[in-house]
Amino acid sequence: MDKVALITGATRGIGRQIALTLSKEGFNIALNYRKENEELMELKKEIEANQVKCFQVAGDVSIFEECEKLVKQVIEKFGKIDVLVNNAGITKDMLLMRMSKEDFEQVIDVNLIGTFNMTKNVISHMLKARTGRIINISSVVGISGNAGQTNYAASKAGIIGFTKSLAKEVASRNILVNAVAPGFIETSMTDVLKDEVKEEITKNIPLKRIGVAQDVANVVKFLASEDSSYITGQVIHVDGGMLM
């Protein structure tokens, strides 16, 4: 296979696992990161061990010009982008009463505007190629809402509207756009929670376990594959049945 997948926020957590999983499927990987670090170089080695090419590209997804530059670099390196995974995301949780305008804006800027910035720069290449997959990482809280996460839930709900609208715009060009809505997944984003809180969350998950990054990566792998060629504009929950 000579396909190329670009994954944002790929240095750790879910993004890292998506990059590794797609590399095992034979995708050449473009890893987006913000700051070069040891983990990034280790990940690059692990990916290359799967006999595919790996190219790392720096850039903050919330800055349009940086996305423009990084997409250009990937196109120069690989000549195309078959799959874009908009994974980069942040939280800045606080009850609305105490949430600053800056914290609201920053979460929207990275999670929602970042998804726009990357997609806008990639879509022209996919339109020309008349093929492509865009996979956006949303969240179940974008559907259910969550106290203390007005900024995050709004950004993730926005991603769902964005996904469905774009899916309708580009379906005729054979570009499929879907979202994945993880529930509670063990990563550095959720490590900050106390064990008691995690236990309480687990009680409310019908499958009685917290998810792992691989659970999400498996669904992304499916959405990037030929097996999902009749699926577009969908939001696939990966949450152990937390939200039905």
Ligand X SMILES: NC(=O)c1ccc[n+]([C@@H]2O[C@H](COP(=O)([O-])OP(=O)(O)OC[C@H]3O[C@@H](n4cnc5c(N)ncnc54)[C@H](OP(=O)(O)O)[C@@H]3O)[C@@H](O)[C@H]2O)c1
Residues carrying an active site annotation: 152
137 binds ligand X (CB under 6 A): yes
CB nearer ligand X, residue 60 or residue 82: 60
**DSSP structure class, residue 153:** H
Where do the H-state alpha helices sit in the chain? Answer: 13-24, 38-48, 64-78, 101-107, 114-129, 141-144, 150-170, 188-191, 195-203, 213-224
Among 24, 34, 53, 69, binds ligand X (CB under 6 A): 34
CB nearer ligand X, residue 16 or residue 125: 16
Among 30, 47, 52, 61, binds ligand X (CB under 6 A): 61
Residues numbered 67 to 106 that lie near ligand X (CB under 6 A) are 87-90
Query: How far is residue 51 from each of residues 10, 26, 30, 137, measured CA to CA in Å?
Result: 19, 8, 14, 27
Structure-token pair, residue 178: 């879907």
Min dist. Cβ of residue 172 to ligand X (A):
28
Q: Say how far apart CA 140 and CA 117 lie, in whole Å.
A: 23
Among 27, 78, 104, 184, binds ligand X (CB under 6 A): 184
182 binds ligand X (CB under 6 A): yes
Show Cβ contacts of residue 237 under 8 Å, excluding neighbours closer than 6 positions: 140, 181, 183, 243
Min dist. Cβ of residue 14 to ligand X (A):
4
51 binds ligand X (CB under 6 A): no
Contact footprint for ligand X (CB under 6 A): 8-9, 11-15, 32, 34-35, 60-62, 87-90, 110, 114, 137, 139, 182, 184-185, 187-190
